[in-house]
Amino acid sequence: MRNLLRASSSALLLLVMMFVGSLVLWVGIPVGWLWIASQVQGATGSLGAALGVAALGIGASIAVAVATLGWLNRKHVEVQEARGVESYGQTALEAILALSAGIALLGFTIWFLFFAGSSPLPIANPE
pTM for the model: 0.78
Q: Does the pLDDT value for residue 27 go beyond 70? A: yes
Looking at residues 60-89, what average pLDDT do you find?
90
- pLDDT above 70 as % of the chain: 87
* Residue 11 Ramachandran class (φ > 0 left, ψ -120 to 50 alpha, else beta): alpha
Domains contained in the chain, number: 1
Question: Would you state the pLDDT for residue 33?
Answer: 96
User: Is there a domain that residue 48 lies in?
Assistant: yes
Residue 76: domain span: 22-85+92-99
CA angle at 109 for the pair 104 and 111, rounded to the nearest 5°: 95
**pLDDT tens-digit profile of 84-122?**
877 777 889 999 999 999 999 999 999 888 888 766 666
32 domain residue, yes or no: yes
Cα separation, 41 vs 44, in Å, equals 5
Does 73 reside within a domain? yes
User: For residue 25, with 0-12 CB atoms within 10 Å meaning exposed, 13-18 middle and 19 or more buried, which class applies?
Assistant: buried
Asked whether residue 5 is domain-assigned, the answer is no
| DSSP-assigned letter for residue 85 | P
pLDDT band at 51 (very low <50, low <70, confident <90, very high): very high
What count of Cα atoms within 13 Å lies in the side-chain half-sphere of residue 97?
12
Answer with the residue of higher pLDDT: 118 or 27.
27
Buried b (16+ CB within 10 A) or exposed e, 91-127: bbbeebbeebeeebeeeeeeeeeeeeeeeeeeeeeee
Average pLDDT, the chain: 88
Please state the rounded mean pLDDT for residues 69-78. Answer: 94
Residue 43 pLDDT > 90: yes
How far CA 90 is from CA of 20, 95, 99, in Å, comes to: 20, 8, 14
55, part of any domain: yes
User: For residue 111, is it within any domain?
Assistant: no
Give the list of residues 6+ apart from residue 50 with CB closer than 8 angstroms, or none.
37, 38, 40, 41, 44
Assigned domain for 2 exists: no
pLDDT of residue 121: 63
